[in-house]
Amino acid sequence: MPANFPNIPRTRSGFKIQPATKLIRSPYNQVEEVWEEPGDMWQARLAFSFLTKAEARLLRSTLTALRGHVGTLFIHDTAHSNEGSWNGTPVVDGIDEYGVVLNARGFAESQTVAKRGDRFQLNNRLHELTEDAVTDNTGRVQLQFQPEIKTIPKDGDFIISSEPKGLFRLANPSQIPDWSGSKAGVRNIQLEFVEALSEV
């Protein structure tokens, strides 16, 4: 089971979805062709302007345990907060749910329970809503989001909206700093992660 990224205060936390698309334009007639593949992934950048010696030691040991690209971590975007209430206990409603639309049940009835831009975690993957979610009188709703579901969930799997996390691995293990600093601590640490697509 992957560990959670340690609870160390960050100066900056930035998450974005990198689409697996490519635009090709003919140099002769400027006709465009768009290639679209099912490999959209999250990218995360974390920055720490100052770490105490204890914090640096904890972070260093966490990154060392990853063994480069091998290990993975669950990471929450501390700069993000959901605006919707997410009232209820939402779960997956049905089987064979995949793509960028998910049937859900267990929400509060007949209300806007989630806002466009809110995020949720389903199993190991982080998703971001592209439309508001308005439930019917049974507490059911279709969630529309990106990126797509890669592993089909089970009926009743929980939909996590409180501090949702994505599963990441180091983008470039060579970027791990040498941890040189003063007696007080270490300054200006920046780390980049990419979603662990093979495990979501």
Residue 165: strand, helix, or coil: strand
pTM (global) more than 0.85: yes
> What span, in angstroms and rounded, lies between the C-alpha atoms of 10 and 176?
16
Rg (CA), the chain: 20
What is the torsional sign of CA 105, 106, 111, 117?
A: negative
What distance in Å separates the CA atoms of residue 5 and residue 18, rounded to the nearest whole number? 21
Question: What is the C-alpha to C-alpha distance for residues 197 and 135, in angstroms, rounded to an integer?
Answer: 31
Q: Which fold has domain 88-160?
A: Elongation Factor Tu (Ef-tu); domain 3 (2.40.30)
Q: Residue 192's closest CA among 69, 70, 81?
A: 69
Domain with CATH 2.40.30 in the chain: 88-160
Residue ranges, comma separated, of all CATH 3.30.200 domains in the chain are 3-78+168-199
> Which residues make beta-bridge pairs with 113?
none
d(CA 73, CA 65): 10
CA 195/CA 192 separation, integer angstroms = 10
Topology given in CATH for the domain delimited by 3-78+168-199: Phosphorylase Kinase; domain 1 (3.30.200)
Residues 6+ apart with CB under 8 A from 107: 86, 87, 88, 90, 113, 133, 135, 139, 140, 141
Provide block-wise average pLDDT over 10 residues at a time, the chain (200 residues): 94 95 78 79 97 94 95 98 98 94 98 98 98 98 97 97 98 86 86 94
Residue 136 main-chain phi, psi, to 5 deg: -90, -170
